[in-house]
Amino acid sequence: MSNQIKMHVKVGTAEFSAEGPRDLVDRQYQQFLETLPKSEAQAKPKPATPSQRMLDRRVTVDKTGRLTLHFKSPIDRSVLDAVYASTSARKLRLRVRHSEPGGSILLLLYGFRVRLGDPAVLSGDLLAAAQASGINIDRVDRVLGEFAARHHPDAELIKSSGERRGKRYSLTKTGVVFVEQVLERIGNSMTTEKTKPER
């Protein structure tokens, strides 16, 4: 009798898929559940139907058993490539910045999410990415708070968890929509630049 199993499960808006030895798949599934927000982790898992597969994220498992979370983005890949530079597996920097430091930090959070599969970014990683992008700030929370108060006082753009060095920042759904609108404007300006006649 084979100990190999294949599992495909939808939990809330997240999707898990794995194939391999039962104990490995069980461990990976538990790790997957631990990465979910509490509200989704408490939801009863149900098999995904084909119409549900167009989700905003998916999990893949490589041959070593390492889980990777992937977020889909409606933004054209050429725009993402123009805005973000990944310098290594855990490093990111902006090639194009927002006019305000808080907007650039939101762009970085989105980049960590869609380029590196990291929806909850450690404060230190975010500061390092900001510095690599030429953004000089001393506190992420202060810059984001001021930006949100000016541009979105009625809705949260980010959420945070943890304390001190363990503090993590992530975009809310409103924050994701806000950044995607900024990226669409950047993409439109890139298209406009390409279509301008030469003088």
Nearest Cα to Cα of residue 97 among 64, 128, 134, 150: 134
d(CA 105, CA 182): 12
Per-residue confidence of the chain (199 residues) as pLDDT tens digits?
467 787 777 776 777 788 888 888 778 877 777 777 665 545 544 444 433 333 455 555 666 666 555 566 778 888 888 898 876 656 888 998 898 999 999 999 999 888 887 888 988 899 999 999 999 888 888 898 899 888 888 888 889 888 887 899 999 988 999 999 999 988 888 766 554 555 5
The tally of CA atoms less than 13 A away on the side-chain side of residue 173 is 3
Q: What's the whole-model pTM score?
A: 0.64
How many Å apart are CA 196 and CA 199, to the nearest integer?
Answer: 9
Report how far residue 9's alpha carbon sits from residue 58's, in angstroms, rounded to the nearest whole number: 10
Place of tokens 């490589």: 62
Domain ranges of the chain: 4-71, 77-194
Q: Are 70 and 115 in contact (CB under 8 A)?
A: no
Nearest partner of 49 among 4, 15, 5, judged by Cα: 15
Q: Phi/psi at 25 (nearest 5 deg)?
A: -65, -40
DSSP 133: T
Cα angle 74, 76, 79 (rounded to 5 degrees) comes to: 125
Per-residue pLDDT tens for 24-59?
877 887 777 777 766 554 554 444 443 333 345 555
| CATH 1.10.10.10 for the 77-194 domain, yes or no | yes
